[in-house]
Chain A
Amino acid sequence: MTKVINVENIITKFGNTLIHDDLSFSIHKGEIFGILGGSGAGKSTLLRQLIMLQKFQSGNIEVLGESLRGISHKSAHKLRQKWAVLFQFGALYSSLTVLENICLPLLEYTELPKGLIENMAMTKLSMVGLSSESAYLYPSELSGGMKKRVGLARALALDPELLFLDEPTSGLDPSSAEAFDKLIVELRDMLGFSVIIVTHDLDTIKSALDRFIVLQNKKICFDGNYETAINSDLTFLKEFLKAN
């Protein structure tokens, strides 16, 4: 299996506080991979480092064969078009309508004719399960779940190879959360991208993740799938999976 992300010996410090102490893991192509951990365990920091929003002090991260340490502006720019991020609250541009939000990456990065772009955007909107009536709404007129779906449609606009999701089901009701998990799995099966999810939703962990790591005490305390985690004798892990 090809590795899409390879993390080697990452150490992160904020001032004098150590956040990550020597993390190493890798993510394979087509996998739905979870980054789990309690609040403040540094999950989001790790995600931000993977998508070049935050620096790390030592070690190396390789994404799609490109090393993030000392990456040139040009290759960083190229890399950013191959991945997409869904932020926790959708991070839709509030001055643009839903349709414009989804069209934006296509308009910026492709030379496709406008009509085709709009058709593509409408198709992606329907892929994430939203009706075409919402196309001309502004983000402030959407519910939290709809915002996330639109954010997902925008993330899918450029057919990314990697999809990063930051707590995709937080703030959704259980049935919407389940539907969202299903949607992610379905899209992955259909489009074949790899997904990296930061979450602590137990249902997502059970139903969507192929494999996950658990961060605790600045280190990775578990790396594997749900079955092995349940059967392992790490008390912390059992508590974590039960408590969530």
Chain B
Amino acid sequence: MQRIKIQYLNAVNLKVLIANDWTKESLANTNSIEKDIVNLFDKTIVFDFTDCLTLDSAGAVEILRIKNQLTKDRCSVTCVNLQEDHAKLLSFYEKNFHDKPELPPKKYISIEGIGKWIIDGFKGSGDFLSFVGEMLFALLKLIISPWNFRFTAFIKHVDTSAIQAIGIITILSFLIGLVVAYQSAGYLTKIGADIFIVDISVMSVFRELSPIITAILIAARSASSFTAEIGTMKITEEIDAMRTMGLDPFVFLVIPRVAAIIISMPFLVFVADIAGMAGAYLVSHFQLGISLNDFIDRMYLEISVNELYVGLGKSPIYGAIIGIIGCYRGFQATGSTHSIGKLTTKSVVSALFWVIICDAIIAVALTKLGI
């Protein structure tokens, strides 16, 4: 079906017959501006709509595009013989016809960009410090008047963040203990040092693996949920509502969450320790034939209780990192729901990042101190 026919009346005057359907369907897969028409310059052109059957917004805009292009090429264009409703439609769309505006310039990595990135980084750490400051201030207020502590919220968060995580932490720690023992068993039998399996697995589980596995799981479960919860509250103006009612969001939202994680972390790590031991014992028993008594004796005699204390002792620090970062990212939410997704990702990644940095620092410090 031909939609456009060009008739030359003379060298400068020509007639363009607009025919058939000009709709979304009929214009599908066409090259937008018909080729033979765009190469006309300095002509007087009449668009004749006598044979035009249907016209919708796509057709109208297409005709306007052609007309626009021709006008740019110094042609004068008039439309004739339109049906009444087509004329109405066309003039309505013509009134509103617009080209796409220029794209705003894209940002490339430039010296300016690098500088901005660094300054934003500093600003970000400033924001974080002021967040921690506000939190400590709220803590101070709570120490002075402890009856303001939101105990119900605290218990609720202990339940959702810690108690509900016990299952998965137990399973994973059990498997980790089992794997560590299993991997070492082969080498230890080779050098005839079977019983050292207890030292290796107990030390690595107590000191390093349990706290880290627990921190990873809690960061994944709770840092993300804190950010999403608080971020949503920020966007729906709940936090502003609290502030106007004189309720401190730090007392209501932040302290109970952070406290819940800090306090439950050692317990979770302890559970993880037991599960890890169970895994290690299972391998020692079936792979190397070490009895439960031997296993416990060896542990009792050779391994200092400090190993346990170190693992339990550093876990509240990890808990604080996870809780504070989770809440801080939540408070950063602005405007759209889109930002919450981004912030949740950021909060989990930075929580894990800082947990592991902190772990490294503690490891070096404790070695220097000889603990």
Q: Are A116 and B32 in contact (CB under 8 A)?
A: yes
Cβ-defined contact, B61 with A120, below 8 A: yes
- Interface residue A70 (Cβ < 8 Å from any Cβ of B): no
Which residues between 134 and 156 of chain A lie within 8 Å of chain B, taking CB atoms? Answer: 135-136, 138-141, 156
Any chain A CB within 8 A of the CB of B31?
yes
A-B pairs with beta carbons under 8 A, tally = 89
Are A139 and B336 in contact (CB-based, < 8 A)?
A: yes
Contact A123-B100, Cβ < 8 Å, known A116-B61, A116-B62, A158-B24: no
Asked if A119 and B338 sit within 8 Å, CB to CB, the answer is: no
Which residues in A have their C-beta under 8 angstroms from that of B24?
106, 110, 112, 158-159
What mask results when residues 211 to 240 of chain A are scored 1 for a CB within 8 Å of chain B, else 0? 000000000000000000000000000000
Q: Which of A42-50, A71-79, A125-133 contacts B (4 or more CB under 8 A)?
A: A125-133
A210 within 8 A of partner (CB): no
Please measure, in the bound complex, the distance between the C-alpha atom of A99 and the C-alpha atom of B336, giving whole angstroms: 17
CB interface residues, B 1-36, toward A, < 8 Å: 24-25, 27-33
Q: Chain B residues near A95 (CB, 8 Å)?
A: 338
Q: Is B192 an interface residue (CB 8 A)?
A: no
Are B338 and A112 in contact, with the CB atoms below 8 A? no
Minimum CB–CB distance for A128 against chain B, Å:
9
CB–CB A140/B338 < 8 A: yes
A111–B25 alpha-carbon span in the complex (Å): 8
Question: In the complex the two chains form, what is the Cα distance from A113 to B31 in whole Å?
Answer: 7
Main DSSP-derived SS at the B contact region: loop
Bound CA–CA A94/B334 (angstroms): 13
Output the least CB separation between B236 and chain A (Å): 12
In the complex the two chains form, what is the Cα distance from A87 to B350 in whole Å?
37
Does A123 contact B57, Cβ atoms closer than 8 Å? Answer: yes
The proximity string for A residues 68-112 relative to B, scoring 1 for CB distances below 8 Å and 0 otherwise, is 000000000000000000000000001100010000001000111
Query: Does B245 lie at the interface of the complex (its beta carbon under 8 Å from any beta carbon of A)?
Result: no
Question: CB < 8 Å: which of A125, A133, A190 contacts B89?
Answer: A190
A15 within 8 Å of B by Cβ?
Answer: no
Given contacts A94-B336, A94-B338, A116-B27, contact A124 B57 (CB under 8 A): yes
Q: Give CA–CA (A95, B334) in the complex, Å.
A: 14
A152 to chain B, nearest CB (A): 13
Judge whether B200 is part of the interface by a CB distance below 8 angstroms. Answer: no
In chain B, positions 310-347 with a C-beta closer than 8 Å to chain A are 334-339
Please give the distance in Å from A215's CB to the nearest CB on chain B.
28
Residues on B with C-beta less than 8 A from A191 are: 89
Residue of B nearest to A190 (CB): B92
Residues in chain B within 8 A of chain A (CB atoms): 24-25, 27-33, 56-58, 61-62, 64-65, 88-89, 92-93, 96-101, 103-104, 334-339
18 A-B contacts (beta carbon < 8 Å): A94-B336, A110-B28, A112-B28, A116-B27, A116-B61, A119-B64, A119-B98, A120-B58, A123-B93, A123-B96, A126-B97, A127-B93, A140-B334, A140-B339, A159-B24, A159-B56, A190-B88, A190-B89
